[in-house]
Amino acid sequence: MAKKTMKFKTELEQLLHLITHSLYSHREVFLREIISNACDAIDKVRFEGLTNAELLDGDSDWKITIRADKENKTLTISDNGIGMSQDAVIENLGTIAHSGTKAFLARAKEMGAENNPELIGQFGVGFYASFMVADDVTVITKAHGEAAVKWESKGTGSFTLSEADKTTRGTDIILHLKDDATEYLDSWTIRSTVKKFSDFVEHPILFLSTEKDEEKGTEEAKEEKLNTQTAIWLRPKSEIKDEEYAEFYKHISHDMKGPAETIHYKAEGAIEFRALLFIPEAKPFDMLMNNDPKAHLNLYVQRVFISNEFDNLLPGYLRFVKGVVDSSDLPLNVSREILQDNPMLDKIRSNLVGRILKTLAQMKEKNYDKFLKFHAEFSTILKEGLQTDWANKEKIADLLLFETTAKPAGEKTCFADYVENMAEGQEEILYLAGENRRSIQNSPYLESFKDKGQEVLLMIDPIDDFVIPQLMEYKGKKLKAVNKGDRDDKDALKEEEKQFEGFLGFAKDLLDGVKEVKLTTRLKDSAACIVGDEYSMSPHIEEMMRRMGQDVPKRESVLELNPEHPIVKKVQAMYDADKADPKIETYTRLLHDQAVIASGAKLDDPAAFAARINALLAD
Q: Encode pLDDT of 238-274 as tens digits.
A: 999 999 999 889 878 878 888 999 999 999 887 889 9
The residue-averaged pLDDT of 45-71 equals: 90
Mean of per-residue pLDDT scores for the chain:
84
- Helix (H, G, I), strand (E, B), or coil: what is residue 323? strand
Handedness of CA 162, 165, 167, 170 (dihedral sign): negative
Flag whether pLDDT at 200 surpasses 80. Answer: no
Least confident of 99-108, 212-221, 408-417, 438-447: 99-108
Task: Give the up-direction half-sphere exposure of residue 154: CA atoms within 13 A in the CB hemisphere.
Answer: 3
The pLDDT assigned to 5 comes to 80
Residues 6 or more apart whose CB falls under 8 angstroms from that of 573 comprise none
Which is more confident, 327 or 398? 398
Fold of domain 400-481: Rossmann fold (3.40.50)
* CB under 8 A, 24+ apart: contacts of 234-238: 234/274, 234/303, 234/326, 237/264
Alpha-carbon distance of 414 to 240, in angstroms, equals 35
538-564 pLDDT, tens per residue? Answer: 666 666 667 667 776 667 789 999 999
H or E segment and range at residue 186: none
Alpha-carbon distance of 613 to 594, in angstroms, equals 11
Contact 562/528 with Cβ under 8 angstroms? Answer: yes
Alpha-carbon distance of 450 to 440, in angstroms, equals 13
Residues 6 or more apart whose CB falls under 8 angstroms from that of 575 comprise 502, 503, 506, 581, 584
CA distances from 483 to 280, 546, 562 (A): 37, 20, 15
Contact 494/521 with Cβ under 8 angstroms? Answer: no
506-517 pLDDT, tens per residue? Answer: 999 999 889 999
From the list 319, 328, 322, 378, the residue with the least C-alpha distance to 348 is 328
Domain assignments of the chain as residue spans, ordered by start: 4-225, 232-372, 400-481, 490-618
Start-to-end CA span in the chain (Å): 102
The pLDDT assigned to 378 comes to 95
DSSP 9: S
The pLDDT assigned to 14 comes to 56
DSSP 578: -
Flag whether pLDDT at 590 surpasses 70. Answer: yes
> Which pLDDT band holds residue 217 (cuts at 50, 70, 90)?
low
The pLDDT assigned to 17 comes to 61
E strand residue ranges, 367-491: 401-404, 413-414, 428-433, 457-459, 473-474, 477-481
User: What's the pTM?
Assistant: 0.65
Residues 6 or more apart whose CB falls under 8 angstroms from that of 519 comprise 488, 493, 496, 497, 500, 504, 560, 561, 562, 563
Alpha-carbon distance of 152 to 6, in angstroms, equals 10
3-state DSSP helix/strand/coil percent for the chain, to nearest 5? 45, 20, 35
pLDDT above 90 covers a percentage of the chain that reads: 51
The residue-averaged pLDDT of 322-336 equals: 70
From the list 302, 288, 291, the residue with the least C-alpha distance to 257 is 288
Is CATH 3.30.565.10 correct for 4-225?
yes
The pLDDT assigned to 96 comes to 56
CATH number of 490-618: 1.20.120.790
111-126 pLDDT, tens per residue? Answer: 454 444 433 343 345 7
Flag whether pLDDT at 23 surpasses 60. Answer: no
E strand residue ranges, 2-63: 4-7
Pick the CATH number of 232-372 from 3.30.230.80, 3.40.50.920, 3.10.20.30, 3.30.70.240: 3.30.230.80
153-166 pLDDT, tens per residue? Answer: 987 778 899 999 99
Contact 69/185 with Cβ under 8 angstroms? Answer: yes
CA distances from 25 to 2, 12, 96, 104, 356 (A): 39, 20, 20, 29, 33
Flag whether pLDDT at 27 surpasses 90. Answer: no
Contact 299/306 with Cβ under 8 angstroms? Answer: yes
Flag whether pLDDT at 105 surpasses 50. Answer: no
Flag whether pLDDT at 335 surpasses 60. Answer: no
Flag whether pLDDT at 333 surpasses 50. Answer: no
The pLDDT assigned to 544 comes to 67
